[in-house]
C-alpha cells in the first residue's frame, strides 16, 4: 500500500514540483486521483484515473473514495495496487465544494 502526502509532490506555489521522470508520473497520478475522489458532483459513471503501475490492458482505471477522516483512498482492481493520500485539501486538485452528496 502506498501512503502518500500530496504536498511532498508540490512546490511552494502549489504546482506539481517534479518536472520529469518517475516522480512526475506519480505526481500526475496523485493529483488525478485527488481530483476524481474530491469531485462529489461528478457522475458516478465517470471512470477513475489510469493506474500508474498497472501493466494490464483491461480495467486499469482505479476506484477512488474518501474515508471519514478525509483521506483519499484508491485501488486498482486489475493489479491490486492501492494507496492513501493525505494533505490534499486546499490544493488545485481539491474539487470539494462542500459535503459529499448522498
What are the mean pLDDT values of the chain's consecutive 10-residue runs (102 residues total)? 97 96 96 96 92 83 95 95 96 78 44
Instruction: Sort strands 82-86 and 2-5 into parallel, antiparallel or unpaired.
Output: parallel
45 burial type by CB count under 10 A (0-12 exposed, 13-18 middle, 19+ buried) = exposed
In 3D space, the residue among 9, 31, 32 whose CA is nearest the CA of residue 19 turns out to be: 9
pLDDT at 56: 72
H or E element that contains 3: strand 2-5
- The number of residues in the chain equals 102
**pLDDT for the residue numbered 102:** 43
What is the three-class DSSP state of 24?
helix
Which pLDDT score, from 0 to 100, does residue 98 have? 53
Amino acid at each position: 500500500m502506498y501512503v502518500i502526502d500530496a504536498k511532498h509532490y508540490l512546490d511552494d506555489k502549489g504546482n506539481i514540483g517534479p518536472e520529469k521522470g518517475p516522480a512526475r508520473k506519480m505526481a500526475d497520478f496523485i493529483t488525478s486521483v485527488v481530483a476524481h475522489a474530491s469531485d462529489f458532483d461528478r457522475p458516478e459513471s465517470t471512470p477513475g484515473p489510469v493506474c500508474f503501475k498497472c501493466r494490464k490492458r483491461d480495467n486499469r482505471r482505479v476506484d477512488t473514495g474518501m474515508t471519514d477522516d478525509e483521506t483519499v483512498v484508491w485501488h486498482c482492481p486489475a493489479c491490486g495496487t492501492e494507496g492513501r493520500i493525505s494533505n490534499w485539501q486546499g490544493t488545485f486538485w481539491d474539487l470539494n465544494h462542500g459535503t459529499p452528496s448522498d
